[in-house]
Amino acid sequence: MLSLYLVVPLLMFLVLNMPPIDLMRRAAFYFVAAVGILQVIVSNCMISGCALMGKDVLDGFFNFGVQKDQLSLVVLLAIGIVIVITSLLGNATIKETRSKFKFFNLLLIALIGMNSLVMVRDVFSLYVFIEVVAVSSFIMIAMKMDEEALEGAFKYIIMSIVATMMMLFGVGLFLISCGGTHFTIIEQSVRQDPGNILSKIAMGLFMCGLFVKSGIVPFHGWLPDAYSKAPSAASVLLAGIITKVSGVYVVIRMAMMFSPEPKIGKVLMFVGALSILIGAIAALTQSDFKRMLAYSSISQVGYIILAAGCGTGLAIVGAVFHFFNHAIFKTLLFVNAASLEESTGSVDMDRMGGLAHNLPAAGITSMIGFLSTAGIPPLAGFWSKLIIIIALWQAKNYGYAVLAVLASVITLGYLLSMQRRVFFGKPKPEFKDIKKENPGIVLAEIILAVITIAGGLMFPFLMEHLFLPLAKI
Amino acid sequence: MTYLIFGLILVPIAAGIVNILFRKNLSGIAALLTVAASAIDLVLAISLFGKEVTVTYPWAMFGIDLSLRVYSLNSFVLLFAGIFGILIALFSVNFMKGRAALNQFYSYFLLTLGLTNGAVLSDNLIVMLFFWEALLLVLFGMIIIGNKHAWKTASKAFIIVGISDVCLLIGIALTGFAAGTFNISNISLPVTSAINQVAFVMLMLGAISKAGSMPFHSWIPDAAKDAPLPFMALVPAALEKLLGIYFLARICLDIFKLTPESWLCQLMMIIGCITIIIPVMMALVQKDYKKLLSYHAISQVGYMILGVGTGMPLGIAGGIFHMINHATYKSCLFLTGGSVEKQAGSTSLEALGGLAAKMPITFACFIVAAFSISGVPPFNGFFSKEMIYQASLDRGLFFYICAAGGSFLTAASFLKLGHAAYLGPVRAENKSVKESPLSMTAPMIVLAGICVFFGLFNKIPVGIIGHAVAPRFNLAHIEEHANIMLIAITIVVIIAALAHHYIGYRMNGSGLKAVEHIHNAPVLSNLYDRAEKRYFDPYCIWDKLINGVSYVLLGIDRLIDFVFDGLCSGLSNAFSYLIRWAHNGLYAVYIAWAVAGALFVIYYILR
């Protein structure tokens, strides 16, 4: 069953590059969208525990030694949703057939990388797949090939190299100190030999590499540029899922693995809180829509890291729930940004105003997205933030809990000002006859908004079936 | 059976939601749908009558389950809610024809019915609160569609009812805290500790203000002028009384173990007495058909609260019986008012007169309902009042005198109303008035019929209610001890009211002015003048007070604004620009941060 996650995208990738190439180029969107939808369906089936036909046959053919648990399944579900959205967006925003084809190929590679990275149980393989994802995203950022896009991509590459060095160094040290790179080996060794300096350095370095990947302050230098300079479809993918999976997911995984070392948790909480604060304050005065969202992303990731550092069962539940929600609502806001860019050709918030009249779907869904981000009940974002804050309070981290509450006020502040500057107010004459909203983008927006609302309203149900099992891992 | 219970809530609400989607020119269909949904509601209520069913679904966490329960008492209440629903829906079809915002009216009508059913059915305090609060929204909508100036009344009602709903909310929170559960069937708290007493008072305030008691009453007379008349007949006259007094009875019987000696009972009885006397004094001098009735809608609540407040099975049963009776005859009276308004074009008593010959059916219904409300035997109001009299006499002479005095004034004001509107000379502009069509008279006739039926066969409802109130309640026991003295006094009171009216009529020259001598009495005239100017309206007093307070608060607010606008936003802007400045786009700087961060992390871990 698990092999579906790897085999299907891989096969699709091969089929996509077979002759007749012209036909394949035109069909690329449908291929990728189908893969994404399949992933959503399979993940739902796995979570709800119902069997798919032919499961055993598949597992007999392909056995990669990958494993799953509830955490992987939630992340796989999020990946599937964002891939569907990104393929919709890529189809709508990228006009030229060749670059569209290129984009969808890269999307499939990134998907394979992310799926494998969620399911492997080995630090070295983890590193390899992080690189697979990273390389495909470098190219996606640079796809426009103008000066800004190249600058963003180049910054990401440079910082990724720093991260690579840290992680590889860490993997090497693990190999020396623990005698292996499999998760269970490392976990046992950390538990049995807590004083080992080498494994401590290895943990610290590996974590720092992941911090770079997930854009935690002060390792985040590349993030605002990469997010804001990438083509809109790529920035949706990047902000929505790539940095989350290759950085934040692994941080949660590692935090659970390294839990015998209490200082790791403290470091996580400190950098998490720092990111919440710096990201939120920096977002206040941005005038570029996507750049503001990038800083907001730093701040929201801070919440996840803070909860992961807290380490109690409830905190991990909160972290993963917020991870899922963040994947949804940040993707939604980036889709709104894409809609703006598509229609007005700009993402400069100072020039905009009253766009809710021209782009009603974007105006309404961005409201849902920002309310969820700011944690307004009954939307999904409220519940995950609430769980995080309760978990922090229960673990007696009162200072961090208060900071988490106060920062969500700043979040509401900058997002409200965004909504007012861009969508509310009188329609400006210069935007009178801008392009209508693309139906693909509208569909993407509606799907995400519905998930946000449904996630909030069905919270007790989701909590019971999806997230509470996490506390047992 | 489960489906039936949900149907009681969902059918009216679903039909109400469909109604609001209609265009204005489809209002005929909306009316049809309303009648149909009300009829289904009544059928469901009949099929559930007397059954005992509990349905529980897990809903939210923390012991908040969607739990609904039907049992003897509330199935009776639901039945009557259904009867009023269908009758007033039928009446509205003709009455509302050609008015603005019809689809909204019908939609709110059905929503009110469905939400009331929900609140009556709920066996969980939180679930009940949901329905209860939703009713507030519908109430606002119902009033605001009345006319262009109705928003003032609507917001007044919204604020007053909102405040009392907050009391209810606090009461529910305290009760849940004290009992450890929100499930009404599982709660049984003694009223000895302070927190339980506060919880009781808060719940009681919520319940009696829903029923329209003083001091939460002042929006009702205003709404009588502004809101559409079927709303008055349905909501303040019928459904809100049913809901409020039903919940009050549940508080006293189930949720709290109330003893008649407790000061809480005294408090309720005093509130009851005040609510009987003051509004009926106001009703006496009104010169508008609907406004006069609306003051009675407040005054009669006093009897119910007094009855329930006696804390004795007889009194509580009397209070609940009076609630049913009142809802019946007051709806009927409001419908006669609507009939007059539709046919004669006015409800001002100065413009009416001599309608008895023109509208005989309306007049006959009015007579029956007026006899009921005045407590004339053998109509239903007489029997419920008699039960309340007896219970209150047991608790103290003062309460009995208030109740009997209220009866005198009620009778006097209805003599005035009937005389002024239906008797006397016919005015020139009313020469061509005709009787209302069947769809309007039929509901009135049915309601008047219920008044007579419950009077003649009073053992049926008293038996049902008595059994629900106290399982060992003995009907025969009451009859044996029926106080002939009290009945005699009641009849004397009514005859006195008649005599008083006749003397007043002779003294002042017309039926309308028969009570002018009370209006112009030395101290009272002063008080009446001020009451007319709303000096005693808690809402207006509060309104004036708030003005002063708001100036002070504005000053404080400006200060806080200054701190936030100047200091906080300045600081955060400064920080934000600092961070922007730090992100200068140099690779070297970013790498340096990352490396420094990594070194710091490793230093910290190794330390």
pLDDT in tens, B249-290: 888 877 887 777 778 888 888 888 888 888 888 888 888 888
Q: Which long-range contacts (CB under 8 A, 24 or more apart) does B527-535 make?
A: B528/B285, B531/B282, B534/B218
Is the model's pTM score more than 0.80? no
What is the token pair recorded at A473? 């891992």
User: How many residues are present in chain B?
Assistant: 607
Asked if A200 lies within 8 A of B606 by C-beta distance, the reply is yes
Give the integer Cα–Cα distance in Å for B562 and B568: 9
CA distances from B181 to B95, B135, B313 (A): 46, 24, 26
Q: State whether A204 and B593 contact (CB < 8 Å).
A: no
Contact in structure between A288 and A348 (CB atoms under 8 Å): yes
Rounded Cα distance between B450 and B462, Å, is 14
Q: What is the mean pLDDT of residues A445-462?
A: 88
Give the SS3 label for residue A304: helix
| DSSP bridge pairs for B256 | B189
Q: Distance, in angstroms, between A150 CA and closest chain B CA?
A: 13
Closest-CA residue of chain B to A278: B579
Q: Specify whether the CB–CB gap between A368 and A380 falls below 8 A.
A: no
Name the one residue in this structure whose structure tokens are 């001098």. Answer: B285
Cα–Cα–Cα angle for B193, B194, B198, nearest 5°?
120
Q: Which residues of B touch A201 (CB under 8 A)?
A: 602, 605-606
Distance (Å, rounded) from C-alpha A123 to C-alpha A190? 14
Residue of A nearest to B571 (CA): A281
Distance from CA of A289 to the nearest CA of B (A): 15
pLDDT at B291: 83
In B, which residues are within 8 Å of A194 by CB distance?
none
When comparing pLDDT for A102 and B313, which is higher? Answer: A102
Ranges of H-type helices in B380-437? 380-395, 397-422
Q: Which of A58-67, A145-154, B55-64, B369-378 is least confident?
A: A58-67
B589 pLDDT higher than 60: yes
Rounded Cα–Cα distance for residues A111 and A49 (Å): 23
Q: Is B58 helix (H, G, I), strand (E, B) or coil?
A: strand
**Residue for token digits 């990469």?**
A226
Res. B205: pLDDT tops 80: yes
- Whether residues B572 and A410 touch (CB distance < 8 A) is answered with yes
Chain-chain contact of A219 with B593 (C-beta, under 8 angstroms) = yes
The closest alpha carbon to B247, from B178, B181, B167, belongs to B167
pLDDT at B448 over 70: yes
The answer to whether A208 contacts B604, with C-beta atoms less than 8 Å apart, is no
Please name the residue that has the structure tokens 């990273």.
Answer: A134
Number of Cβ within 10 Å of residue B147's Cβ equals 15
Residue B524: which H helix or E strand, with range? helix B522-532
Chain A touched by B357 (CB under 8 Å): no
* Cα distance between residue B176 and residue B186, in whole Å: 11
Mean pLDDT lowest for which of A290-304, B111-125, B556-570? B556-570
Q: What is the pLDDT of residues A98-129, one digit of tens each?
A: 888 999 999 999 999 999 888 888 888 899 99
Which residues 51-70 on chain B approach chain A with CB closer than 8 angstroms? 59-61
Across chain A, mean pLDDT equals: 87
Name the residue of chain B whose CA is nearest to A157's CA.
B587
- Provide the pairing of β-strand B65-70 with B53-58: antiparallel
* Interface A:B, Cβ pairs < 8 A: 84
- Summarised one tens digit per residue, pLDDT across range B512-523 is 676 776 777 777
Taking CB atoms and an 8 Å limit, are A221 and B60 in contact across chains? no
Who's near B419: CB < 8 A, 6+ residues apart? B501, B505, B511, B512, B514
B-chain residues near A155 (CB < 8 A):
587, 590
Q: Which residue of A has its CA nearest to B62?
A: A460
What proportion of chain B, given as a percentage, has pLDDT over 90?
A: 1
B597–A261 CB contact, under 8 Å:
no
Contact by Cβ (8 Å): A271, A247: no
C-alpha–C-alpha distance, residues B315 and B319, integer Å: 6
Distance CA A212, CA A304 (A): 15
Give A54→chain B minimum CA distance, Å.
36
The 3-state secondary structure of B205-266 reads HHHHHHHCCCCCCCHHHHHHHHCCHHHHHHHHHHHHHHHHHHHHHHHHHHHEECCCCCHHHH
Q: Is there a contact between A28 and A104 (Cβ–Cβ < 8 Å)?
A: yes
Judge whether residue B480 has pLDDT over 60.
no
Whether chain A has a CB inside 8 Å of the CB on B574: the answer is: no
Task: Please tell me whether the peptide bond between B58 and the residue prior to it is cis, using omega within 30 degrees of 0.
Answer: no
Buried (b) or exposed (e) across A251-276, using 16+ Cβ within 10 A? Answer: bbbbbbbbeebebbbbbbbbbbbbbb
Categorize the per-residue pLDDT at A8 as very low, low, confident or very high, splitting at 50, 70 and 90: confident
Portion of chain A with pLDDT greater than 90, in percent: 36
B387: closest CA among B460, B457, B488, B315?
B315
- DSSP readout, B370-392? HHHHHT-TTSHHHHHHHHHHHHH
Q: Collapsing DSSP states into helix, strand and coil, what is residue A182?
A: strand
Contact A278 B579 (CB under 8 A): yes
Over 60: is that where the pLDDT of B367 sits?
Answer: yes
Q: Which of A358-362, B276-280, B436-440 has the lowest mean pLDDT?
A: B436-440
- Please tell me the predicted confidence (pLDDT) of residue A119: 87
Type of residue found at B65: D
Question: What's residue B3's pLDDT?
Answer: 77
> Which of A294-308, A371-385, B6-20, B503-517 ranks highest by mean pLDDT?
A294-308
pLDDT of residue B472: 56
| Distance, first Cα to last Cα, chain B | 69
DSSP element (H, E) containing B189: strand B189-190
Average pLDDT over residues A234-255: 91
Query: Is A54 within the bounds of a domain?
Result: no
Name the token pair of B142. 């119902």
**Which tokens in the block code for residue B533?**
């100017």
Distance from CA of A162 to the nearest CA of B (A): 8
User: Domain limits at A394?
Assistant: 263-473
- What pLDDT digit, counting tens, does each position of B229-255 carry? 777 777 777 788 888 888 888 888 778
Residue whose pair of structure tokens reads 């994947």 in the numeric block? A327
Identify the H or E element spanning B55.
Answer: strand B53-58
Residue B533 has pLDDT above 80, yes or no: no
Mean pLDDT of A304-308: 93
Round the average pLDDT of chain B to a whole number and report it: 80
User: Is the Cβ of B598 closer than 8 Å to some Cβ of chain A?
Assistant: yes
Check residue A80 and give its pLDDT: 92
Higher pLDDT among residues B447 and A391, named by residue: A391
- Which residue of B60, B576, B593 is in closest CB contact with A221? B593
Per-residue pLDDT at A63 exceeds 60: no
A288 DSSP assignment: B
| Domain presence at residue A146 | no
Per-position b or e across B84-112, b if 16+ CB within 10 A of its CB: bbbbbbbbbbbbbeeeebbbbbbbbbbbb
Residue A220 belongs to a domain:
no
Residue A306: band (very low, low, confident or very high) from pLDDT cuts 50, 70, 90: very high
- What is the distance between the alpha carbons of residues A415 and B107, in angstroms, rounded to a whole number? 37
A81 has a pLDDT exceeding 90: yes
Domain positions in chain B: 2-539, 541-606
Contact check, Cβ <8 Å, B579/A200: no
Q: Are A230 and A238 in contact (CB under 8 A)?
A: yes
From the list B575, B590, B595, the residue facing A222 with the nearest CB is B590
Domain tally, chain A: 1
Tell which of B65, B579, B606, B607 to mutate to test the A interface (max A CBs under 10 Å).
B579
Q: Is a pLDDT exceeding 90 seen at residue A43?
A: no
Which pLDDT tens digit goes with each residue over B70-92? 887 788 888 888 888 888 888 88
Q: Which of B587, B589, B594 sits opposite A219 (nearest CB)?
A: B594
Predicted confidence at residue A297, as pLDDT, reads 93
| pLDDT interval class at B60 (50, 70, 90) | low
Mutate to test the interface with A, among B590, B595, B603, B607 (most CBs of A within 10 A): B590
Bridge pairing between strands B256-257 and B189-190: parallel
The dihedral formed by the CA atoms of A148, A153, A158 and A164, expressed in degrees to the nearest 10: 160
- The whole-angstrom separation of Cα B508 and Cα B290 is 23
Residue A441, min C-alpha distance to chain B (Å): 29
d(CA A89, CA A110): 16
Confirm whether A241 is domain-assigned.
no
Give the pLDDT score at B535: 67
CB atoms < 10 A from the CB of A101, how many? Answer: 21
Output the CA angle B301-B304-B307, nearest 5 degrees.
150
Using a CB-CB cut-off of 8 Å, the residues of chain B touching A460 are 59-61
Contact B61 A460 (CB under 8 A): yes
Question: B575 contacts in A (CB within 8 Å)?
Answer: 281
**What is the rounded distance in angstroms from the CA atom of residue B54 to the CA atom of residue B68?**
6
In order, the DSSP letters of A33-84 are HHHHHHHHHHHHHHHHTPPPTTHHHHHHH--------HHHHHHHHHHHHHHH
- Predicted local distance difference test score (pLDDT) of residue A302: 93
B152, B130 Cβ separation under 8 angstroms: no
**What is the ipTM score, two decimals?**
0.88
> What are the tens digits of pLDDT across the range A44-58?
777 776 555 555 555
Nearest residue of B to residue A291 by CA position?
A: B580
User: Could you tell me which chain B residue has the CA closest to the CA of A158?
Assistant: B587
Interface contact flag, B593 A207, Cβ < 8 Å:
no
Amino acid found at B401: I
| Max Cα distance, chain B (Å) | 106
Q: Which chain A residue has the Cα nearest residue B585?
A: A221
Report the residue of A219, A220, A464 to disrupt the B interface, i.e. the one with the largest count of B CBs within 10 Å. A219
Q: How many angstroms separate the CA atoms of B415 and B591, rounded?
A: 94
pLDDT at B62: 63
Average pLDDT over residues B133-140: 85
Average the pLDDT over B441-465 and give the result.
80
Q: Does any domain span residue A137?
A: no
pLDDT at A271 over 90: yes
What integer is the mean pLDDT of A215-236?
A: 89
